[in-house]
Structure formats: structure tokens, C-alpha cells
């Protein structure tokens, strides 16, 4: 869950000094406790321009996520945090990932390697480790400790002549593999988490990017616009950019 809020200054300033300190302590305690829950991760973010403060919550229990969301909203005091934007999605593995049978066929037809040969078995073992790592990072991600954050939602188009869902699976897979090759050029510069939201939110996917340099976020999004998957079939929602900071730093920047 991605949560972005504005701080209502009038409501905040109407609170007494002790009430303000209690609210900040309450929010800090809430985040610290939730970070101790099993398999939960929470990022606190200073959002640029479009909101004041943001939270990215990753966890396995929807009840806990929901309870945490409600407590965050009221932690600083009633109506201090006003929702700017929110997004709900699930981690998922891409349906276009190469299967073992497909990779074996590639080794046989494209590299003339037969099962049982040392070269074949070495390549297959390497591929299995790579797929295992990919699946783990997509389904159970560890959020990186990188400074810059960007989130945006997106859809695949369903228009006459530009209907992604009217393409057959083989064509969609071919296009997505090409799209992924562009993304791999930014390995070590941008970490990307794509989560699915069909039936959960107004868009179909949420994309979260992390980088050490905001230029790399701009660069990968720009370059991918020229890929056929994007220029032919993608629609993009609002972009939310921020800085990964802990609450005391965010409170200081917001003059709370």
C-alpha cells in the first residue's frame, strides 16, 4: 500500500504544543512497532510537491495493513493528515517469465546443446538460480535503502487497434521480453518493483522505482517510452516522487 498525505496546517497549528508532541511521538511509535511485525516493511517518505509525507507498506496480512493505514491517518491528531493519493496492489510474478521447458528448448534449438551434456547442465543450473532469485525478489521483495523514490500507476490500453488484451500470448510475451531488456540496462542504477492491482485499484499495475540519483529515474522512464510496449499500449497515471527519510527529518522539513 502506498499512502500520500497533505498536512493541514490550520488543524495542526490549532493543537497545543503538548498535543503536537504527543502526535509526533504516537506516529513514530506506530511506525517503529509495525516495522517489528513479521515480514513487514515500511518506508517513510518526504514527498516532493504533490504531497507532504508518504508511506510505503509491504506486508503479508491485509488486516494488519488496513489497521496500520487507519492508525497512520489519525496518529498526528484528527484531520491533520489529509489524503492526497493512495494505491493498493499485490506483489506478483510476471506471466511472461520463461518456463524451464521453454529454456530447455532454447538451449537445444538456438545453442545446439543437448540435455545431459556438461554445457547444457551448467547453463540450466545457472538459469534456475536466476529464476529463483527473480521470483523471490518479485514476490517477497526487500526494499532497498536508496535515497530517491518514485511511484506511478499504469494500464495497458484497450482501444481499437491498440488493445493489449486482443494480442495473442506469444506476441505479448515477445513485446514484454523486449521491454525487460531495456530495464536490465539500468541494473545497479534503478531498482524496480512492479505490483498488480487489477480489481484492487483504478489502475492495473503500480510501479515503484528506487535510485541513488534522480537522473536515473528520469532516464529509465524516458527510454522506456520508446519501447513498443510503452508507446503502443501503455497509459500512465500521476507520478509521486520523494526522498526516503526517517520521521524526525520529515517533521523537521515540514516544520512540525
How far CA 126 is from CA of 99, 115, 136, 188, 250, in Å, comes to: 14, 14, 16, 20, 43
Cα-to-chain-centroid distance, residue 210: 9
C-alpha atoms less than 13 angstroms from C-alpha of 211 in its C-beta half-sphere = 18
CB 44 within 8 A of CB 246: yes
Q: Which of 240, 255, 256 is nearest to 50 (CA)?
A: 240
Instruction: Give yes or no: 152 in active site.
Output: yes
Q: How far is CA 135 from CA 30, 65, 176, in A?
A: 31, 23, 17
Q: Return contacts of 94-100, CB within 8 angstroms, 24+ apart.
A: 94/138, 94/176, 94/194, 96/172, 96/173, 96/176, 96/177, 97/131, 97/134, 97/135, 98/131, 100/124, 100/127, 100/128, 100/131
Which of 85, 152, 186, 240 does the annotation list as catalytic?
Answer: 152
Are 52 and 245 a contacting pair, CB within 8 Å? Answer: no
DSSP 8-state class, residue 251? H
Active-site residue set: 152
Amino acid at each position: 500500500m502506498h499512502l500520500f498525505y497533505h498536512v493541514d496546517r490550520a488543524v495542526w497549528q490549532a493543537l497545543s504544543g503538548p498535543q503536537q508532541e504527543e502526535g509526533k511521538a504516537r506516529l513514530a511509535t506506530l511506525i517503529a512497532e509495525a516495522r517489528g511485525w513479521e515480514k513487514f516493511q515500511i518506508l517513510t517518505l518526504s514527498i516532493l510537491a504533490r504531497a507532504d509525507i508518504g508511506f510505503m507498506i509491504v506486508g503479508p496480512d491485509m488486516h494488519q495493513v488496513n489497521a496500520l493505514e487507519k492508525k497512520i491517518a489519525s496518529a498526528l491528531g484528527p484531520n491533520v493528515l489529509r489524503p492526497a493519493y493512495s494505491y493498493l496492489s499485490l506483489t506478483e510474478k510476471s506471466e511472461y517469465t520463461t518456463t524451464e521447458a521453454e529454456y530447455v528448448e532454447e538451449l537445444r534449438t538456438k545453442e545446439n546443446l543437448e540435455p545431459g551434456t556438461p554445457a547444457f547442465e551448467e547453463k540450466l543450473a545457472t538459469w534456475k538460480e536466476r529464476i529463483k532469485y527473480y521470483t523471490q525478489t518479485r514476490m517477497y521483495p526487500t526494499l532497498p535503502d536508496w535515497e530517491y523514490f518514485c511511484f506511478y500507476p499504469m494500464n495497458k490500453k484497450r482501444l481499437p487497434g491498440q488493445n493489449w488484451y486482443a494480442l495473442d500470448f506469444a506476441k505479448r510475451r515477445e513485446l514484454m521480453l523486449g521491454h525487460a531488456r531495456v530495464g536490465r540496462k539500468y541494473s545497479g542504477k534503478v531498482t524496480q518493483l512492479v505490483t498488480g492491482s487489477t480489481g484492487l485499484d483504478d489502475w492495473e499495475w503500480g510501479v515503484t522505482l528506487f535510485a541513488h540519483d534522480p537522473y536515473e529515474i528520469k532516464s529509465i522512464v524516458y527510454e522506456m517510452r520508446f519501447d513498443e510496449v510503452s508507446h503502443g499500449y501503455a497509459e500512465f497515471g500521476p507520478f509521486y516522487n520523494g526522498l526516503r527519510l526517517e520521521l524526525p527529518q520529515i517533521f523537521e522539513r515540514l516544520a512540525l
